[in-house]
Structure 1
Amino acid sequence: MKPTDELTGMLVLVHPELTQDPANNQGKIGIITGAELEQDDVYVSFGKGEQALYSTDALLVFKPEKDLYTTIMTDAREAGPEVFKTLFQINLMQQHGTTSVMKKAMEMVADNKILRDLSMDTLENRLANQLQQQQDQSFSR
């Protein structure tokens, strides 16, 4: 399966601090409907026929479950009990993985920079990490 196929249907948060967004969707949650990664083009739908084009560094996704759990156990404790509790709740929500549950989780962090920084990463970084992991696995065989 191509990476672009794997992205279709993925929930993303348009970075709330995005300075230039002609569609004016900063902080909104959408679903990836297609991607041309060679051009760094990701098509995101926001429902009701509204679609916009973004680069991978403008879209935020949750860290993988195990990475978020590590963050919770190391960095979140210093951020305070409310942050710790919310991140732990999000990590549990990831285990259900349904779109509606994950949308609710994104809504919980969308307006809180500390929670966003601890629980999310850019799609660009996520794809780079996945590529690195695939290369590491190829070399270890």
Structure 2
Amino acid sequence: MEELTGKLLVVHPQLTTDPVSRQGQIGVIATVDLKRDTISVGFGGGPIGKYSSDALLVLRDKNELYQDTMTGVKDMDAKTFHDLLELNMKQERSGFGNVSAAMKIALDSPEVMKRSMISLEDYISRNQIMDISENVSFER
């Protein structure tokens, strides 16, 4: 089981309905209610946004991404390959600054984003995250 509170993510850039207009922006999970599929996201200022898990994107596992990048090199242009390697190196260093920088690389290219990010919904399914608390708050 993994804790989601405090995890960095991106509001899907093509999200059509977003009451706080944060499409394509990086935020931090503030509270989680998996039973209702409601994820509250803070953006360092302004109102908290409430989203379903399929409207949010997170970086793929760094080892899986590296493997796919190396095996798929023939199917991508040089810039995509370079960007994926740079993104993956930032993931290796961990920390909010590096993860945020990796997400910015992904957001700069639809192809890199497609290859390096998955929905939070898929991430939860893959990691079988359990909701241990209905509303866990993120405190700074």
Tell me the CA shift for residue 77 of structure 1. 3.6
- The aligned length equals 129
Mapped contact 1:15–1:60 kept (Cα < 8 A): yes
Give runs of ≥4 in structure 1 deviating > 2 Å.
74-77
**Please, what TM-score do these two structures have when normalized by structure 2?**
0.86
- In structure 2, what is the equivalent of residue 62 of structure 1? 59
- In structure 2, what is the equivalent of residue 83 of structure 1? 80
Q: Structure 2 CA distance, aligned partners of 1:86 and 1:77?
A: 15
- In structure 1, what is the equivalent of residue 138 of structure 2? none
Asked if residue 23 in structure 1 is aligned to residue 20 in structure 2, the reply is yes
Q: What is the correspondence of 1:120-131 to structure 2 with a 5 Å cutoff? A: 120-131=117-128
Mapped contact 2:59–2:117 kept (Cα < 8 A): yes
Mapped contact 2:60–2:116 kept (Cα < 8 A): yes
For 1:88, what is the secondary structure of its paired residue? helix
Q: Structure 1 CA distance, aligned partners of 2:117 and 2:80?
A: 14
More helix by share: 1
Alpha-carbon RMSD: 1.5
Distance 1:85 1:34, change over 3 A: same
Task: Provide structure 2 residue ranges, at least 5 long, that are not aligned to the other structure.
Answer: 130-140
Tell me the CA shift for residue 76 of structure 1. 4.2
Tell which has more relative contact order, 1 or 2 (C-alpha 8 A, sep 6+).
2
Tell me the CA shift for residue 53 of structure 1. 0.3
Task: Provide structure 1 residue ranges, at least 5 long, that are not aligned to the other structure.
Answer: 133-141
Distance 1:90 1:77, change over 3 A: farther
Mapped contact 1:30–1:44 kept (Cα < 8 A): yes
Q: Which among 13, 20, 33 is matched to residue 30 of structure 2?
A: 33
Tell me the CA shift for residue 20 of structure 1. 1.1
Q: Structure 1 CA distance, aligned partners of 2:106 and 2:96?
A: 16
Aligned residues: percent identity? 35
